[in-house]
Structure 1
């Protein structure tokens, strides 16, 4: 369970910081906005899902006590 928490914590960081050099090289438009802007907006949703998963794991652990 600890590994899942570490992975869920690392995904938003890698999404926003680690992938920027690779994503910034892509130039097409997605839904009328540059791909980099689309990537950052998608990162908000990915971060929300990861934090929601962490909350669910911790809340489930606290209810078991």
Structure 2
């Protein structure tokens, strides 16, 4: 397994393991409670991480789909 595929674990860790630590109502970020902001942040970060994985995927480069 290529090391680039380990980036797919980060959203899992951020969303499932980080939720108990981010479970706060009082701090508001961008007008949202912190827990909602945390979830939205990880949705955006997941998209970015998947784009990075796609860009550096060795199987995609071998097949010529660049």
Q: Please give the TM-score of this superposition, normalised by the length of structure 2.
A: 0.78
Distance 2:25 2:4 in 1: 30
Any stretches of 5+ residues in structure 1 without a counterpart?
none
Distance 1:61 1:39 in 2: 36
Greater relative CO, 1 or 2 (CA 8 Å, sep 6+)? 1
Higher share in helix? 1
User: 4+ runs of 1 displaced by more than 6 Å?
Assistant: none
